[in-house]
Amino acid sequence: MLQFPKDFLWGVSTSAYQIEGAWNEDGRGESVWDRFAHRPHNVADNHNGDVACDHYHRMPDDVALLKTLGMPAYHFSISWTRVLPAGCGAVNPAGLDFYDRLVDELLAAGITPMAVLHHWDFPQALQELGGWVNRASVDWFTDFARVMFNRLGDRVPLWATFNEPWVIAFLGYGSGIFAPGVCDYSQAYQTLHHLLLAHAKTVQLFRQDNHAGEIGIVLNPDHFIPATNRAEDIAACQRAYDENVGMFLRPLVFGEYPAQFMDWLGVHRPTIFPGDLAQIKGSFDYLGVNYYRTSTVTHDVGGGLLKAKIHSVSEPGWGRTEMDWGIHPAGLTHVLLDWKENYGNPKMMVTENGAAFPDAPDDTGAVNDPARINFLRAHIEATHAAIRQGANVRGYFAWSFMDNFEWASGYRPRFGLVYVDYPTQKRTPKASAHWFGRVAQQNGL
């Protein structure tokens, strides 16, 4: 049996817009994802999160299910516009109450709550003031964080500011395939800087106000491999790594952006005020690692600002997921060891890892998903391998608790450990849910 360290934290993750639904109920304000998904052709089959898993109305049952499955921890995000409908200003008591009840339900069930302040559902009213490109966004975010810390800080031991700031900056403002759908790399890099600054100021606030517990930020590193050992592929690989990892970890750990990559950006370099980087340096207690992919990188003049073509690959013998992502468990070991060796071995948690497969109930209503069990087992083994080599990894969370709204891909890809029949909202734990619950209970494989 592969045993994990004592106090290793196991759990499952979700995010607000992907599961809650109730998009315009009890005073919730509009987010950029509401706006984006309501516009035709942005999301596959024109799906949207209006109803999603109806978690807003089914929350107590969903927490009871987490308990039945034996999940020790639950990683969820907070809908900013449920709490502050216009993004700033008046608080919506009903929205704040929802998260208060969620935390109480979790604690009563013996489940550790881990709250992410922002998982992409930015207030539309603030988008109209420029969104993350406006430096005022730093204050908008810290004001929202203050409301949440004051209400839940006495009961939530683990916080994260942002989930995957890379996705917000580069898919939201760069390629524009995600909300708010902006296609402008100057805005993307300015967004990146403001996200890190908002993160840092929020951590300062958390520490100044002496909240118990720990706070960090969740990144989404790929493991990158040059497609060949030609110098130009190696250079392209370094650029892909810098955009995805270096631009976040170098400022967070060392207080500087990667110099060579900043030169490459030229006119797209963000505006940085004196003192910003000093505030970003060291602004975390732990780092979240969302790992999905290993990618090869080829120099390609048609490959946008990076001049790189990035292609996700599988280890031999592994197929591909329903998202057509490769499956490469060893990449997770590489990422954790990279962070150990090159960024001072911070406290790390795997905060998301999982895959979409075409799951369906059989004649008896059971959902058998051996492919997902194999996927999770191999990645849990890869996490263990990194720990054996000294990486300071403290937890592992599977994405996702249940099937949900998979952003621009709509509801077709099913990442859940629990199957959701959307027309009836019936939840059926897949075989992987029972399997993963046992792994968590035994603290090992």
Instruction: State the amino acid at position 266 in one-letter form.
Output: G
Query: What does the buried/exposed string (b/e) look like for 80-91 if buried means 16 or more CB atoms within 10 Å of the residue's CB?
Result: bbbbbbebbeee
Nearest-approach distance from CB 174 to ligand PNW, in angstroms: 11
Question: Dihedral, CA atoms, 345, 259, 197, 75, nearest 10 degrees?
Answer: -40
In angstroms, rounded to a whole number, what is the distance separating the alpha carbons of residues 284 and 182? 29
Estimate the crossing angle of helix 329-342 against helix 370-388, to 10 degrees: 30
Distance CA(300)–CA(288), nearest Å, equals: 31
Q: Is 243 annotated as catalytic?
A: no
Told to judge if 232 belongs to the known catalytic residues of this protein, a careful annotator would answer no
CB of 172 to ligand PNW, least distance (A): 11
Q: Which of 20, 30, 105, 164 is catalytic?
A: 164
Shortest spacing between CB 18 and ligand PNW, in angstroms: 6
Minimum CB distance to ligand PNW smaller for 168 or for 262 = 168
Q: Which residues contact 341 (CB under 8 A, 6 or more apart)?
A: none
- Let me know the angle formed at the C-alpha of 253 by 80 and 387, rounded to the nearest 5 degrees: 95
* Residue 19 to residues 15, 78, 291, Cα–Cα distance (Å): 7, 11, 21
Output 4 or 339, the one with its CB closest to ligand PNW: 339
Pull the structure tokens for residue 192: 């990146």
Binding site for ligand PNW (CB under 6 A): 15, 18, 163-164, 167, 220, 290, 352, 399, 406, 415
Name the residue nearer to ligand PNW (CB basis): 145 or 167. 167
Based on CB atoms, which residue is closest to ligand PNW, 152 or 160? 160
- Annotated catalytic residue within 20, 105, 352, 406: 352
Q: Is the peptide bond before 180 cis (omega within 30 degrees of 0)?
A: yes
Output the DSSP codes for 99-119: HHHHHHHHHHTT-EEEEEEES
Find the shortest distance in angstroms from Cβ 320 to ligand PNW.
Answer: 14
The token pair that represents 350 in the structure block: 């795997």
Question: Which residue, 29 or 174, has its beta carbon nearer to ligand PNW?
Answer: 174
Catalytic annotation, residues = 164, 352
